[in-house]
Amino acid sequence: MWIQKKINISLKSRGFHIITDEILTNTPELKDFKIGIFQLFIKHTSASLTINENVDQTVRTDFESHFNMLAPENQNYYEHTFEGPDDMPAHLKASLLGSSLSIPITDGKLNLGTWQGIYICEHRNHGSERKLIVTIQGSLF
């Protein structure tokens, strides 16, 4: 059994944001799957997806601070600079974090750990609505 749909995530400020509830609200079909895989894919090269701590906002703030150290702006060796100083770091961050997530489905729910949430990572200063594709596959009840 396969289900696929687009989800548009409204514009987020630069940084890391939890979207677990937004994703679940858009995928009520999940409850019909006994075992499966829930795949999220982001159709962009300057925003990304990851899974991390879902309670303390300072974790997300620290992610933004630290990824700005791992992929700083204005490195003297950057050649891809015509879209602004935040562009090349955004591409690097996107590949460090990745463009997709695969999460097991168990008994109609995402089988996440207690402290795991889905993050969208907006790496541009002025991003845009971000397009995700959700693909759900598995065996039904």
Q: Which residues bind a copy of itself (CB under 8 A)?
A: 2-4, 35-37, 39, 41-45, 50-53, 56, 58-59, 61-63, 65-66, 69-71, 75, 77-80, 88, 91-92, 94-104, 106, 111-116, 119, 131, 133, 135, 137-139
Minimum Å gap between C-beta 115 and a copy of itself is 5
Cβ proximity to a copy of itself, 45 vs 125, nearer residue: 45
41-76 core/surface letters (b: 16 or more CB in 10 A; e: else): bbebebbbbebbbbeeeebbeebbeebbeebeeeee
Alpha helices in the chain (DSSP H): 20-25, 57-70, 87-97
Supply 105's token pair. 């489905």
Minimum Å gap between C-beta 90 and a copy of itself is 10
Minimum Å gap between C-beta 25 and a copy of itself is 20
Cβ proximity to a copy of itself, 22 vs 131, nearer residue: 131
Cβ proximity to a copy of itself, 24 vs 137, nearer residue: 137
User: Could you tell me how far CA 79 lies from the centroid of its own chain?
Assistant: 27
Minimum Å gap between C-beta 9 and a copy of itself is 13
Supply 66's token pair. 């630290």
Contact 92, 47 (CB under 8 A): no
